[in-house]
Structure 1
Amino acid sequence: MVRAPLALAVLFLMIQVNCAAAFEMRRAINVAQWFTWPRYERPPSTGIAWPPYKETPKPPDLSELKRLKQTGFDTVRLPVDPAPFFVFEGEQQQFVYKRLFDAIDRIQSAGMNVIVDLHPNSRHPVWGQHAMIKGVGTPAFDKFSDLIEDMARRLSSRHQNVALELINEPRLKCKGDDQAKWDALAKTLVDRARKGSPDLTLVLTGACVSSFEGLLALDPKKFGDDKIIYTFHFYDPFSFTHQGAQFIPWPDKYLDEVPWPASARPMEQPLAKTLQRVAEAKIDTLDRDKASVGAQANLKKFYASKADREFIRDRFARVSEWARENGVDPARIFIGEFGVLKKRPGLAGALCEDRDRWLKDVRVTAEEFGFTWAYFNYDGPFALLVDEKKRNFDPSILAALGLGKETKACRD
């Protein structure tokens, strides 16, 4: 007489535990500068200075994370350069792990989920992005695979409400031999993660630098794993989202005040601003001529595309169809990054009203298709933070993300 109710109670408890352990998210934010810029040593050394991670820019403290939670974000995507985990051994390696897990604990103490995104930096010659994708059996990839298994094991045993993103923006083409190579690399990473943990939620990208085209070229049936979230990044049109970005080599770095949608203002306005930026650039005459020709060509191409919300919808619809054909729940489609470079005083960039229209168009369209998303970024050139000292959030960005009231506080 006692056993049946007891069995039911145990079963109910097991269901509760399983439900509590499920990884669910809707609205995330990248905190990308906490663990992505280790202190690389200069050549000829191939190592990293100790301690590896800097405190500049300042990571969010617990009160800031709680404010993010109260605002409506439920998850932090935490990019982590894996190089320090390879370079250091013994007590130093354990210190690196502790530093990461302390950050995870801080985020979870604020009531938020965490995606640990293994994010190799392309600047490191030995342990960087390009070395990681050379192929199965190469030193960097083998070390990376070992880390995947170890990280999965540690995350599974110590934390709930955490997911592991296997690699960020692989720089391989999403067709031909490169796609076949990425299929093999991705399968190896998934298999190694599953050796570490059979139940941990994984996040997997396609090739082509995590573009939506890369996701469309990926075959989920090769993994047969319903605990995988599939991700892509969205910065299209690039000439809009990365206008004025001085960290890129392309002529879009000289574009200024390009509108969204393309029909919002005539081309003559951003063209005049762009030519002024090229004229002011500290480059020689030959480079200036090339920059002028390239920037004008990209601007004309942007206007010719007539890009607007339908441009976004078309791309998301193709991802939605891919998910339907492959039996992937739309909630397992994750836009891991999207954002627009902010215009700052004296520098090129998108005007805030254009930025906010694009952000809203991406966010609303993603939610219509049932996708989850992560805004890029908490700080830096795409920042939600208005400034580093006051640590207050930009109200117009929050409004565009559906996390605040419509406001006229848009500022450049």
Structure 2
Amino acid sequence: MRIVAFVAIWALSLITGAEAEPIALQKGVGVHGWLNWSPVEQDRSYKWPPYRTEKEWLGAGRPLADWPDGEVFAGIRSMGFDFVRLTVDPGPLLASDGAKRQQALDVLAAAVEHVVSNGLKVVFNLHSVEQVPAYGLKIISGSADSEGVTRYRTMVAAVAAMLVKIGTDKVALEPYNEPTHYPCDSSGSDDWQRIMSDTVRDIRAVSRDLTVVATGGCGGSVAGLVDLKPSFDDPNLYYSFHMYEPHSFTHQRPDGTTTFASGLPWPAASSTPEVVIETLAAQMEAAGLSQVERMMNTVAARERIAQYFEENWGTSQLEAVFQQAVDWAKANNIESRRLFMGEFGVILMSSDGSMGAFNADRLRYLTAVRQLAERYGMPWSIWEYTNPYGMTVIQPSGPALPDLDLLKALGLAP
């Protein structure tokens, strides 16, 4: 009887995947410019074959001569990252089928294989963008029963099959990025719950071994995560949230060319509203704004600055946000190490002072957020490798060298 019982338990574990676990991830970086924004023709159809080459990606942000010799992804590995969150425009896949879709999948498979050949794992994130609106976020923003959602889920299954061939020990699939299903509470519909549940089921029909990264609605926030009911859970799942709290600090960005939105400190208690306003005034004057423009912008900025200091953002508020995610996981019998902080970052102050945070404030914030994730054993991915807003682990301009101060904030440099 004991032998029969053992065999029954062993067989059940094979069926349920009880012995499985997601691929090990620790410290990652987003790579967004390469396979997102797939080039389009004048009529807004996708150029074919789709997606940019690595050289086209690197040359779009700065002269190719600024890139050091050597393999980009080997360089990422040498910084201390063990994976990249590779964002991919699903538009070309949605716009094609049959042999044409297979051609696009082959391009993507070659890209993923190139990354993993450099010793990195890959979180393959289908990351909708709006350059071809018919294949943007709107396609998955409606009813779970819509034709668009059905098409999207069919495409996801094809991507899962492609990734399985590369190796389930090397890749994970994150089928959605920041879905726009609101509100983030029980007053909303169950469409996002159904979409996420059905998508996990579709992927599991392809492979029980492929790691899946699920996400809540509401822009992929913690609020969206805790509204999700993980009835589809299995041991091969991560649960993602993006950490841009408070957005007023992480995304200090002006509305126009003559407006300034910068200089909020971290934590709030390290400065005062008066100092921020004085600094902003000096930066506007140095940039050559007229007295009228400076006055109008100061009036507009005062309310934002006052609110930030009134909320008095600091480590305790960050801890409370993380605690929401951890409490949700505990309530659903999910280990906190299966929570995945898929994005976090801060816009660095621009050279003209019109946007972003001072570097010292940015580094303090990133250190605090990274340490909180690691306290709970959560893997994380910084946003991102390179972009024009200073949310980058390499220098934002000039030679493409690592930002050593930022790597130190991430615990990757002494």
Relative to the length of structure 1, the TM-score reads 0.84
SS at match of 1:361: helix
For these two proteins, the number of residue pairs brought into alignment is 379
Assess if the C-alpha contact under 8 Å between 1:116 and 1:164 holds in 2.
yes
Q: What is the CA distance between 1:361 and its match in structure 2?
A: 0.3
Aligned partners of 1:264, 1:24: CA distance in 2, in Å? 37
Assess if the C-alpha contact under 8 Å between 1:62 and 1:107 holds in 2.
no
Assess if the C-alpha contact under 8 Å between 1:35 and 1:79 holds in 2.
yes
Aligned partners of 1:107, 1:142: CA distance in 2, in Å? 30
Aligned partners of 2:378, 2:405: CA distance in 1, in Å? 22
Amino acid at match of 2:36: T
* Residue identity (%): 28
Q: Structure 1 residues 377-386 or 128-137, which shifts more?
A: 128-137
Amino acid at match of 1:82: P
SS at match of 1:25: coil
Aligned partners of 1:277, 1:255: CA distance in 2, in Å? 11
Assess if the C-alpha contact under 8 Å between 2:37 and 2:131 holds in 1.
no
Matches within 5 A, 1:6-405: 23-41=23-41, 45=43, 47-55=45-53, 56-58=56-58, 63-160=71-168, 161-173=170-182, 174-176=184-186, 178-220=188-230, 222-244=231-253, 254-274=260-280, 294-347=300-353, 348-380=355-387, 381=389, 382-387=391-396, 390-405=399-414
Assess if the C-alpha contact under 8 Å between 2:20 and 2:209 holds in 1.
no
Q: 1:179 to 1:313 in 2, by over 3 A?
A: farther
Assess if the C-alpha contact under 8 Å between 1:241 and 1:341 holds in 2.
yes
Q: What is the CA distance between 1:58 and its match in structure 2?
A: 1.0
Aligned partners of 2:138, 2:24: CA distance in 1, in Å? 32
Aligned partners of 1:30, 1:300: CA distance in 2, in Å? 33
Query: Gaps (5+ residues) in structure 1?
Result: 1-13, 406-412
Amino acid at match of 1:355: R
Aligned partners of 1:298, 1:214: CA distance in 2, in Å? 25
Assess if the C-alpha contact under 8 Å between 2:220 and 2:240 holds in 1.
yes
Deviations 1:58-81 (A, max 9, x none): 189972322322322111100111
Q: What is the CA distance between 1:104 and its match in structure 2?
A: 0.9
Aligned partners of 1:213, 1:179: CA distance in 2, in Å? 15
Q: Structure 1 residues 258-267 or 86-95, which shifts more?
A: 86-95
Q: What is the CA distance between 1:89 and its match in structure 2?
A: 4.1
Aligned partners of 1:50, 1:165: CA distance in 2, in Å? 25
Query: Gaps (5+ residues) in structure 2?
Result: 1-13, 60-66
Q: 1:188 to 1:164 in 2, by over 3 A?
A: same
Aligned partners of 1:383, 1:326: CA distance in 2, in Å? 35
Q: What is the CA distance between 1:130 and its match in structure 2?
A: 1.7
Aligned partners of 1:306, 1:177: CA distance in 2, in Å? 30
Relative to the length of structure 2, the TM-score reads 0.83
Give the structure 1 partner of residue 3 of structure 2.
Answer: none
Assess if the C-alpha contact under 8 Å between 2:22 and 2:235 holds in 1.
no
